Amino acid sequence: MSSDIVSSVQTKLASKSRWRIPEIAFWLIAAGALILLPERHLILNEIAILGLFALSLDLILGYAGIVSLGHAAFFGLGAYMAGLLTIYGFTDPLIGLAASAGAAALLGFATSFLMLRGTDLTKLMVSLGVALVLFEIANQTAWLTGGADGLQGVNPGPLFGVFDFDIFGTTACVYSFCVTFLLFLLARRIVVSPYGLSIRSIRENPLRARAIGIPVNHRLVAAYTLSAAYAGVAGALLAQTTQFVSLDVLSFNRSAEALLVLVIGGAGYLYGGLAGAVVLKVLQEIFSAWTPQYWQFWIGLILVIIVLIRRERINDAAATMLSRWKRTAIGNASDRASPSRPQTARPEV
């Protein structure tokens, strides 16, 4: 009986790991945008970085059920680490990425034990407190971080020693897109693995998960550390591609922006952060060009509408329309494939 259960679980995991047509289309469209929209490389770079940052938050919020209001702590630490390494002679962008991921993961591991204590409200306050502490440290150590003036002089070397970061953002855009895509592949593989299933079971019912032998605390610490590393990489990408680091990378607004992206795109299926980043940045471009003074009002209004309507209803409506379209397409195809019946003459009475 147990072997049948294991086999069914393996079959289900294998089916979930297969790529669907919408997923392939999503990445093909993203790659096509890099080629067809060369004048938009700067905003595409911002979308890739914001999408990776939201993806890092989704790993703990959507899958592990850990709420956080201070995820910018890891983002900012990664940005400052990459910037400082570049200033002090380590100009290879990949070295900066690795060091930023390691520093953020170390901070995530150290603070994860605090995040496991108390209720969701306690976790919110702890995460926010960590980010505020780092913000104040960066503000007071102006000799190292530049303080309120920001960290200037961040000039990373050519990527792979060949591709320079140009003013039009072409190299930066492709660089951020490739890093985001590779980390997405890793996250996708993790969430459809047995480890990913255990994390989701902990989110649904931690007591039941502990009762069946899942090491709850160890899994949550690992998820939080991985999420912190992802956020650190996103911060490093921002520092390297913009060649500037300010206190804004540690601010509450940065954490709130990632939460806003997940509210728009949805949490718990990885693509929510990426799609939400696209929607948010496009809306910002449209509304800021339309009403430069009140664009935040329209963003807030759309957010309220999404919350009131509820994304589940939107998803259900989209799924219903898609299923009807599929049935119609299949019916039309079967009608064309079936031979026409010969008409027999009716006998005269």
| Whole-number pLDDT of residue 201 | 87
> Any idea what DSSP says for residue 348?
P
Query: 106 and 197: one domain?
Result: yes
Structure tokens at 265: 């795109």
Query: 197 and 324: one domain?
Result: no
Query: 133 and 210: one domain?
Result: yes
CA triple 189-193-199, angle to 5 deg = 110
Report the alpha-carbon distance of residue 340 to residue 81 in Å, rounded. 71
Query: In b/e form, how buried is each residue of 217-229, taking b as 16+ CB within 10 angstroms?
Result: eebbbbbbbbbbb
CB 142, CB 109: distance < 8 Å: no
Answer whether residue 256 is part of any domain: yes
Answer whether residue 285 is part of any domain: no
Answer whether residue 264 is part of any domain: yes
Query: 236 and 311: one domain?
Result: no
Query: 131 and 223: one domain?
Result: yes
Answer whether residue 212 is part of any domain: yes
Report the alpha-carbon distance of residue 288 to residue 179 in Å, rounded. 29
Report the alpha-carbon distance of residue 266 to residue 346 in Å, rounded. 61
Answer whether residue 10 is part of any domain: no
Structure tokens at 228: 């912190």
Nearest alpha-carbon partner for 172 in 185, 156, 195? 156
Name the region of 79 (left: φ>0; alpha: ψ -120 to 50; beta: rest): alpha
Q: Among all chains, which residue has been given the structure tokens 């911002």?
A: 46
Query: 318 and 207: one domain?
Result: no
| Whole-number pLDDT of residue 36 | 87
Answer whether residue 141 is part of any domain: yes
CATH (domain of 148): 1.10.3470
Query: 221 and 322: one domain?
Result: no
Domain total of the chain: 2
Q: Which domain holds residue 319?
A: 291-332
> What phi and psi, each to the nearest 5 degrees, are found at residue 166?
-90, 170
Query: 309 and 229: one domain?
Result: no
163 DSSP β-pair partners = 159
Nearest alpha-carbon partner for 241 in 52, 32, 37? 52
Report the alpha-carbon distance of residue 74 to residue 106 in Å, rounded. 10
Answer whether residue 151 is part of any domain: yes
Report the alpha-carbon distance of residue 138 to residue 132 in Å, rounded. 10
Query: 253 and 116: one domain?
Result: yes
User: What residue type is assigned to position 206 of the chain?
Assistant: P
Q: Rounded to two decimals, what is the model's pTM?
A: 0.84
Query: 261 and 219: one domain?
Result: yes
Q: Is 347 helix (H, G, I), strand (E, B) or coil?
A: coil
> What phi and psi, each to the nearest 5 degrees, are found at residue 245?
-135, 125
For each of the chain's 349 residues, which pLDDT tens digit applies? Answer: 456 555 665 666 666 667 888 888 899 998 888 888 888 888 999 999 999 999 999 999 988 888 888 899 999 999 999 999 998 888 889 999 999 999 999 999 999 888 877 777 888 888 888 999 999 999 998 888 888 888 888 888 888 878 888 777 788 899 999 999 999 999 999 988 888 888 988 888 888 888 888 888 899 999 999 999 999 999 999 999 988 898 999 988 899 899 989 988 888 888 888 998 998 888 888 888 887 787 788 878 887 887 777 555 555 655 566 566 556 656 555 555 555 444 444 444 4
Report the alpha-carbon distance of residue 45 to residue 168 in Å, rounded. 11
CB 254, CB 248: distance < 8 Å: yes
In this structure, the number of other CB atoms found within 10 A of the CB of residue 304 comes to 10
> Any idea what DSSP says for residue 159?
B
Answer whether residue 328 is part of any domain: yes
Report the alpha-carbon distance of residue 212 to residue 219 in Å, rounded. 14
| Whole-number pLDDT of residue 343 | 47
CB 108, CB 224: distance < 8 Å: yes
Query: 251 and 144: one domain?
Result: yes
Packing angle between helix 271-290 and helix 41-58, nearest 10 degrees?
Answer: 140
Query: 219 and 313: one domain?
Result: no
